[in-house]
């Protein structure tokens, strides 16, 4: 069974939702048969690459919040994260364009290191003092290396603005086609969807329901036709 997760590194609920989903997946009896794929979704796709500002400033300007409301929201998110065992800096974080991170995640997917990289990106953005936005490509290259990727290959990807750009845009178009206008958005076997950072119990229910609803393979034609197998191939008899 495949679970696709549309998310953005700048999304705090994606950070929390990933932890809740993984808690449910860890207890799922068929967890070894579940493939998890991370898909791209930018919360702020129109933001220029060099346009970085404090999270609290972004919240007040984008959503019309007062500074007190923005701080209260961050405090609430910090409490939600802590409940899942996640570190979260409620003050001093910044916000910027995440397109290059998504491109790098597609590269990591090809190398089988996507989950490792997205975990490190979340950790860096929400828990560490160093910024993933203001230090340029070198910070992302460093995180790629920690995820088990070749740093030089990661640097080449980041240096080429066209590398994996089509894959990111394809994910975003697909999200729109599926009706996802916010993240995190979880799609199970292209049959069930879960929107938002739901409690682990909801993810458990979704995993169970999707697993139980899988359709058995329907064979077309004769089931005794000639085939090849581990013991050789059937030889027609005259």
- Residue 136: pLDDT band with limits 50, 70, 90: confident
Greater pLDDT, 238 or 204 = 204
The tokens for 225 are: 């036709």
When the pLDDT of each residue in the chain is averaged and rounded to a whole number, the result is 94
CB 86 within 8 A of CB 18: no
Whether residue 218 is predicted with pLDDT greater than 90 in this model: the reply is no
Taking the C-alpha atoms of residue 132 and residue 139, their distance in angstroms, rounded to an integer, is: 6
Closest by CA position to 47, among listed 119, 100, 121: 100
How many CB atoms are located within 10 Å of the residue 190 CB? 10
Find the distance separating the first CA and the last CA of the chain, reported in whole Å. Answer: 44
Specify the pLDDT at position 225.
66
Specify the pLDDT at position 224.
66
Q: Over the stretch 49-60, which tens digit does the pLDDT of each residue have? A: 999 999 999 999
Whether residue 238 is predicted with pLDDT greater than 80 in this model: the reply is no
Taking the C-alpha atoms of residue 182 and residue 196, their distance in angstroms, rounded to an integer, is: 8
Specify the pLDDT at position 205.
98
Whether residue 79 is predicted with pLDDT greater than 80 in this model: the reply is yes
User: What is the torsion angle, in degrees rounded to the nearest 10, for the CA atoms of residue 209, residue 82, residue 71 and residue 21?
Assistant: -20
Give the rounded percent of residues in the chain with a pLDDT score beyond 90: 87
Whether residue 35 is predicted with pLDDT greater than 90 in this model: the reply is yes
CB 218 within 8 A of CB 199: no
């Amino acid at each position: 069974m495949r679970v696709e997760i549309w998310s953005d590194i700048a999304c705090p609920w994606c950070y929390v939702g990933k932890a809740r989903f993984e808690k449910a997946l860890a207890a799922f009896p068929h967890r070894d048969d579940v493939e998890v794929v991370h898909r791209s979704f930018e919360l702020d796709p129109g933001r220029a690459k060099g346009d970085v500002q404090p999270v609290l400033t972004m919240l007040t300007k984008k959503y019309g919040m007062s500074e007190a409301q923005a701080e209260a929201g961050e405090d609430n998110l910090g409490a939600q994260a802590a409940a899942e065992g996640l570190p979260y800096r409620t003050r001093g974080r910044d916000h910027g364009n995440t397109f290059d991170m998504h491109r790098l995640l597609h590269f990591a997917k090809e190398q089988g290191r996507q989950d490792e990289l997205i975990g490190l990106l979340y950790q860096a953005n929400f828990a560490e003092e160093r910024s993933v936005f203001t230090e340029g490509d070198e910070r992302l290259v460093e995180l790629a290396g920690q995820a088990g990727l070749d740093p030089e290959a990661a640097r080449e990807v980041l240096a080429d603005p066209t590398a994996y750009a089509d894959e990111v845009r394809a994910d975003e178009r697909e999200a729109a086609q599926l009706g996802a206008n916010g993240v995190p958005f979880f799609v199970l076997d292209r049959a069930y969807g879960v929107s938002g950072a739901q409690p682990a119990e909801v993810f458990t229910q979704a995993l169970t329901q999707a697993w139980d609803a899988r359709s058995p393979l329907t064979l077309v034609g004769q089931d005794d036709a000639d085939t090849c197998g581990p013991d050789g191939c059937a030889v027609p008899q005259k």
